[in-house]
């Protein structure tokens, strides 16, 4: 019986392709299902043989650990940009988008404020 080995919902295409290649390179027979037209089904990679589950899970876990280490190393090299950093680089953009956000918030809330005031 087929076994779902890897869900593809929300997975970047690069990672999904790496997993497909990893399973194919290790001679594990798989097939793929899509999420369907409305995205409510299970998009995933399925193993044809139930007995290959342990080996496939081991390969996928090793790949994901390596991928996590890679992204952790990238975070150490270049920490994420903060609002303070953005303000130093382009203060007018930060002020403009802040005012835009406040305007949208005001327009969304003002009918309720008027309703409560009456």
Averaged over 112-116, what is the pLDDT?
79
In the chain, % of residues over pLDDT 90: 72
Give me the pLDDT at residue 113, please.
83
Q: What is the pLDDT of residues 74-109, one digit of tens each?
A: 888 887 889 999 999 999 999 999 999 999 999 999
Q: CB of 75 within 8 A of CB of 37?
A: no
State yes or no: pLDDT of 38 exceeds 80.
Answer: yes
Split at pLDDT 50, 70, 90, the class of 5 is: very high
User: What is the rounded distance in angstroms from the CA atom of residue 90 to the CA atom of residue 94?
Assistant: 7
**Contact indicator for 50, 3 with CB cutoff of 8 Å:** yes
Cα-based distances in Å from 31 to 19, 34, 58: 12, 10, 18
74 near 19, Cβ under 8 Å? Answer: no
Residue 2 pLDDT more than 90? no
What lies within 8 Å, CB to CB, of 19 at 6+ separation is 6, 45, 60, 63
């Amino acid at each position: 019986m087929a076994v779902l080995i890897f869900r593809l919902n929300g997975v970047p295409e690069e990672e999904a392709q790496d997993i497909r290649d990893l399973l194919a390179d290790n001679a594990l027979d798989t097939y793929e299902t899509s999420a369907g037209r409305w995205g409510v089904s299970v998009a995933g990679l399925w193993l044809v043989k139930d007995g290959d589950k342990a080996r496939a899970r081991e390969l996928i876990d090793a790949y994901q650990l390596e991928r996590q280490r890679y992204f952790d190393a990238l975070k150490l090299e270049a920490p994420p940009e903060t609002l303070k950093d953005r303000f130093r680089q382009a203060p007018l953009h930060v002020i403009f988008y802040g005012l835009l956000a406040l305007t949208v918030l005001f327009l969304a809330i003002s009918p309720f404020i008027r309703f409560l005031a009456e």
